[in-house]
Structure 1
Amino acid sequence: MKSFLIAASIFSIAACVLADLSDEQKQKVVAFGKECIAETGVDKALVEKARQGSFSDDPKLKAFAFCLSKKIGLQNASGDVQVDVLKQKLSSVVSSPDAVNSLISTCVQSKGSPEETAFHTFVCYYEKTPTHVSIF
């Protein structure tokens, strides 16, 4: 069970998405984490390290990031970032609209593949925010 909670809370951006959700919705995200671990075969230790800010340049971790990003709604199946969804979710935890826009313009950049885009968006957000929201 602990590994699923870790998986569901990977990267701070995912936690921000979860901050404004009901308990039922949070349970769905836990299930998404479980599904993404199974689908990608990512090493659970890499997920835990990423949650703590130590990001490995690992293809399965990047696939996990994309999988979770899709399931949460931050990216579509083609890998396009859903900026309106991201803006809405960030606005629930970042009080300044200027800060939200700055994070999006700094962190949301296409990186050649959906997995790279998801991974780099999460890493950038983690590095650019002083407080990391946690729901668990």
Structure 2
Amino acid sequence: MKSFLVISSVLCMSIYVLADLSDEQKQKIISYGKECIAETGVDKELVDKARQGSFSDDPKLKAFAFCLSKKIGLQNANGDVQAEVLKEKLSSVVDNAETVNSLISACVQNKGSPEETAYQTFVCYYEKTPTHASIF
């Protein structure tokens, strides 16, 4: 199954399927990641570990996830999940609509703060997809 890093994501802390993105999209994601590292002050080592599936309960990593989620368009500035944007982005890399809906249903849930929502969405996406694209 193709996956989207969302998130990338979403969903898009774990989440990177750069192989299925155009070169321009890959460059945007890389640029967003660099910007979010600078903006949040997250330790790059924590980001590198998250790319490999080792997630730290670190406030700066969660802020990084929210920053990335906003830049990708998965959440707005208030932290509200943009479900239609998410569905559109996932559908561009996941061929099966049922799988897209299942991922959104399982992974996109308000967790109390925009940062926690973004972080938990990325963790869930990472855990529920067999292929990962790295946007961190």
Residues 21-64 of structure 1 show CA distances to partners (whole Å, capped at 9, x for unaligned) of 44233322222111111110000000000000000000000000
Cross-structure match for 1:3: none
Total equivalences in the alignment: 126
Q: 1:11 aligns with which of 6, 10, 13?
A: 13
What pairs up with 1:25-64 in 2 under 5 angstroms? 25-64=25-64
Distance in 1 between residues matched to 2:24 and 2:95, nearest whole Å: 25
Cross-structure match for 1:125: 125
More relative contact order, 1 or 2 (CA 8 Å, 6+ apart): 2
Task: Verify the 8 A CA contact 1:19 1:93 in the aligned structure 2.
Answer: no
Q: Which has the larger radius of gyration?
A: 1
1:89/1:118 CA distance change after superposition, 3 Å: same
Distance in 2 between residues matched to 1:52 and 1:30, nearest whole Å: 16
Tell me how far 1:79 sits from its aligned partner.
0.4
Cross-structure match for 1:4: none
Kindly report structure 1 stretches of 4+ aligned residues shifted beyond 4 Å.
18-21
- 1:56 aligned counterpart, secondary structure: coil
Tell me how far 1:95 sits from its aligned partner.
1.5
Task: Verify the 8 A CA contact 2:14 2:50 in the aligned structure 1.
Answer: no
1:133/1:110 CA distance change after superposition, 3 Å: same
The alignment's C-alpha RMSD in Å is 2.2
- TM-score calculated relative to the size of structure 1: 0.83
Between the two proteins, what is the percent identity of the paired residues?
A: 80
Structure 2 unaligned blocks of 5 or more: 1-7
What pairs up with 1:48-127 in 2 under 5 angstroms? 48-127=48-127
- TM-score calculated relative to the size of structure 2: 0.83
Structure 1 unaligned blocks of 5 or more: 1-7
Tell me how far 1:20 sits from its aligned partner.
5.5
